Chain A
Amino acid sequence: MRLAGFYLCVVVVVLLPMVFPNNYFVTVVGISAGLHAILAVGLNLLMGYAGQISLGHAAFFGMGAYSSAILTTRFAWPGVWAMLAGLMVTAVLAWVLARPILRLRGHYLAMATLGFGVIIHVIMVQATSWTGGPDGLTGIPPLNLLGWVVDSDTRWYIVIAATMLLAIWLSLNLIDSRIGRALRAVHGSEFAAQMLGINTSRAKTQVFIVSALFAAFAGSLFAHQQGFVSPDSFSLTISVELVTMVVLGGMASTFGAAGGAITLTLLHAGLVVFQDYEMLIHGVLLMAVMIFMPQGLFVGLSQAIRKIGHGLRSGNRP
């Protein structure tokens, strides 16, 4: 059943640029939406399944991005190696952080992740000789994948779309795996899960690291796609936006997270025309969706569809 949804995604993603060729919304906004989706799917593993709130996810995004940026511009490393280095650094840091942070609960966990995010952001702004300071690093070379240079919006669409589909597929499989079931048990009741013999702290640590890796990978792609990185893209505001995307779409739902990310990205691009009123409208829409569909857009919509389908079917019975 879940895989059916996945195949639908694949079809949509492939058809989109063919149905709307040369459309700014598909290529440029689509790339942005795809990146956000990868981030949201990763964050959802942490938030939706392991029940841990993270207000510092943008920090991992930034670590991947800056690793790629610094290694390719200052040390002339090839893109792929820089990306791998970024992933390794992130994994190590996530592993070091996981134990102490995951002992915390609820708002305290949120605070700790927030603090972590702020610390990373401050380093990005202040360590000017490494990170280029508030204006960041420019001149990041295009990504070279075994000879295929990703240097146009179309090619980036392909790369990001493929990565997003991969992320969704991984997430779906993870949830259905032993680790996933362990996580869901932890979310349900950590105490009960421990009673059942599940090593909850190991499960939580693993998902924390996986979630961080999703973000770091997206960060590296982001750096090459933009050609520059700056701390603005990795601030607390971004972390909060990511959490919003996951909750908006529907926590504990991979498609929900991806859907929430894509919706919010499109919304932002579309609302721009309202200029000064954009903030207002954005706030109202956010409140409205959460009030009327508290389980998230995706879950709410699928429930609504199911209800309609049910109503149609029962209406047909004599």
Chain B
Amino acid sequence: MKTGFWKSIITATLLVVASLVNAAEPIKIGSFLTVTGPASFLGDPELKTLQMYVEDINAKGGIKGRKIELIHYDTGGKAQDAVSFVKRLIQSDKVDLIVGGTTTGDTMAVIPDVEKEGIPFISMAGAVEIIEPVKPWVFKTPHTDRMAAAKIFEDIRKRGFTKVALISGDGGFDKSGRAQVLKLAPEYGMTLVADESYGNKDTDMTTQLTKIRASGAEVIINFGLGQAPAIVTKNIKQLGIALPVYQSHGVASKTFIDLAGDAAEGVRLPAAALVVAEQLPDTDPQKPVLLAYKNKYEAKHGPVSTFGGHAYDGLMIAVAAIERAGGVDRAKVRDEIERTKGFIGTAGVFNMSPQDHMGLNAAAFKLVEVQKGAWKIIE
């Protein structure tokens, strides 16, 4: 009787100690985002999403009993800060994995350090050059700017237009989007009759649009981010230019519609299904995931944004990979991220491979139009 009693005490103690030891070792996920500064409307929802879901996962017991510790820094949009923070995450904070890099500039800047160190890195930035050519340790979750341009051109071709005017800003997103538009235009039989530019903090683009009006364009594409596209859209209406307008996925948020007002009617753009979640057929596998994220985010923080969605995708892919790898061995986690198949995220269904470190195809992008002040799917 007594030995049995002591045995169980010892076993129980050992079990408790073992779980404590295990639980005492949190999984460290590092992040660097542009939470303040010109791109803060991108980084802020990303951070909020990461924090919300890390808390959620920890409340449910963490990953195999280990809690997640999120260590994040704000780069303020300065790429050199991104580099020093990544070094800090690697050297000082000793993180196991990085989910971050709001902008392409920040992401590209840290790639050499990430590759040298050999730590899995999931970026939330847009440009195609992040994953092309493929770098072993670098992945990304948003659609590429090339996919956005392709989606836009497909629709323009469907509507029978060939003369395109482009107007874009001076940010990294704008310029890389512009490069993709210029590159893809001939492939779709399009001619670029105007290529105008503005500063992202500018307040009036009527001059550039006046030139576009005189160029004989049939369609206007505005590749931009932030408040400027809303101003462009309003200016187009103000000048009475009655051409179809395409925006980029950079403005797939309610803020754009709020700012542009009635001028936004009829504007089309490629967007992640998140903004039109309710309009998806109930049989769409993405729908429950999207609605769950949307409701959870909006309950706490207000209108949802696709950028927050990219953070969700990045975090969940990482978490799933860690679970499959059974630990935080960096090489194993990296391999598991690469093996992500059929993962349903806010941006679409992810199927990664050694050649494709993004995993989304064109179907993941929906073409939407603003109708009566809300997004409507056009497919």
Give A contacts to B, CB under 8 Å: 22, 24, 28-29, 32, 125-126, 128, 133-136, 138-139, 153, 226-228, 230, 232-233, 269, 272, 275-276, 278-279
| 0/1 interface trace, chain B 159-175, chain A, CB 8 Å (1 if under) | 00000000000111011
Question: Which residues in window 100-135 of B have CB below 8 A to A?
Answer: 104-105, 108-109, 111-112, 127
| 0/1 interface trace, chain B 79-114, chain A, CB 8 Å (1 if under) | 110011101100110000000000011001101100
Chain A residues whose C-beta falls within 8 Å of the C-beta of B78 in the assembled complex: 232-233
B80, B111, B112: the one contacting A232 at CB < 8 Å is B80
B35 within 8 A of A: yes
Question: Which residues in window 169-225 of B have CB below 8 A to A?
Answer: 170-172, 174-176, 179, 197
Given A276-B35, A279-B36, the answer on whether A233 and B79 have CB atoms closer than 8 Å is: yes
Q: Name the residue on A nearest B113 (C-beta).
A: A227
Q: Is there an interface contact between A24 and B74, defined as CB atoms closer than 8 Å?
A: no
Chain A residues whose C-beta falls within 8 Å of the C-beta of B85 in the assembled complex: 272
A24, A125, A269: the one contacting B91 at CB < 8 Å is A24
Chain A residues whose C-beta falls within 8 Å of the C-beta of B83 in the assembled complex: 226, 228
B77 within 8 A of A: yes
Q: Is there an interface contact between A134 and B105, defined as CB atoms closer than 8 Å?
A: yes
B73 within 8 A of A: yes
Q: Which of A269, A272, A276, A279 has the most CB of B within 10 A?
A: A272
Q: Is there an interface contact between A278 and B172, defined as CB atoms closer than 8 Å?
A: no
Given A134-B172, A135-B127, A272-B74, the answer on whether A233 and B87 have CB atoms closer than 8 Å is: no
Chain B residues whose C-beta falls within 8 Å of the C-beta of A136 in the assembled complex: 79, 105
CB distance from A222 to the nearest CB of B (A): 8
Given A125-B170, A135-B108, A276-B36, the answer on whether A22 and B84 have CB atoms closer than 8 Å is: no
Give B contacts to A, CB under 8 Å: 35-36, 73-74, 77-80, 83-85, 87-88, 91-92, 104-105, 108-109, 111-112, 127, 170-172, 174-176, 179, 197
CB distance from B187 to the nearest CB of A (A): 21
Q: Is there an interface contact between B79 and A275, defined as CB atoms closer than 8 Å?
A: no
Q: Name the residue on B nearest A227 (C-beta).
A: B112
Chain A residues whose C-beta falls within 8 Å of the C-beta of B171 in the assembled complex: 134
Q: Which of B73, B77, B108 has the most CB of A within 10 A?
A: B108
A29, A135, A226, A269: the one contacting B104 at CB < 8 Å is A135
Can you name 5 A-B pairs with beta carbons within 8 Å? Answer: A28-B91, A32-B80, A134-B172, A134-B175, A226-B109
Chain B residues whose C-beta falls within 8 Å of the C-beta of A227 in the assembled complex: 109, 112
CB distance from A265 to the nearest CB of B (A): 10
CB distance from A80 to the nearest CB of B (A): 21
Q: Which of B73, B83, B88, B172 has the most CB of A within 10 A?
A: B172
**Bound state CA distance, A48 and B172, in angstroms?**
37
CB distance from B196 to the nearest CB of A (A): 12
Q: Is there an interface contact between B108 and A138, defined as CB atoms closer than 8 Å?
A: yes
B77, B111, B175: the one contacting A128 at CB < 8 Å is B175
Chain A residues whose C-beta falls within 8 Å of the C-beta of B172 in the assembled complex: 133-135
**Bound state CA distance, A233 and B82, in angstroms?**
12
Q: Which of A125, A232, A276 has the most CB of B within 10 A?
A: A232
Q: Is there an interface contact between B170 and A230, defined as CB atoms closer than 8 Å?
A: no
Q: Is there an interface contact between B36 and A126, defined as CB atoms closer than 8 Å?
A: no
Chain A residues whose C-beta falls within 8 Å of the C-beta of B109 in the assembled complex: 138, 226-228, 230
**Bound state CA distance, A22 and B92, in angstroms?**
9
**Bound state CA distance, A242 and B320, in angstroms?**
45
CB distance from B89 to the nearest CB of A (A): 10
**Bound state CA distance, A156 and B77, in angstroms?**
24
Chain A residues whose C-beta falls within 8 Å of the C-beta of B88 in the assembled complex: 24, 28
Q: Is there an interface contact between B91 and A22, defined as CB atoms closer than 8 Å?
A: yes
Chain B residues whose C-beta falls within 8 Å of the C-beta of A230 in the assembled complex: 79-80, 105, 109
Q: Is there an interface contact between A135 and B91, defined as CB atoms closer than 8 Å?
A: no
Chain B residues whose C-beta falls within 8 Å of the C-beta of A138 in the assembled complex: 108-109, 111-112
Q: Is there an interface contact between B80 and A29, defined as CB atoms closer than 8 Å?
A: no
**Bound state CA distance, A228 and B127, in angstroms?**
17
Q: Is there an interface contact between A226 and B91, defined as CB atoms closer than 8 Å?
A: no
CB distance from B303 to the nearest CB of A (A): 19
Given A126-B197, A135-B176, A275-B35, the answer on whether A28 and B80 have CB atoms closer than 8 Å is: no
Given A136-B79, A279-B36, the answer on whether A232 and B74 have CB atoms closer than 8 Å is: no
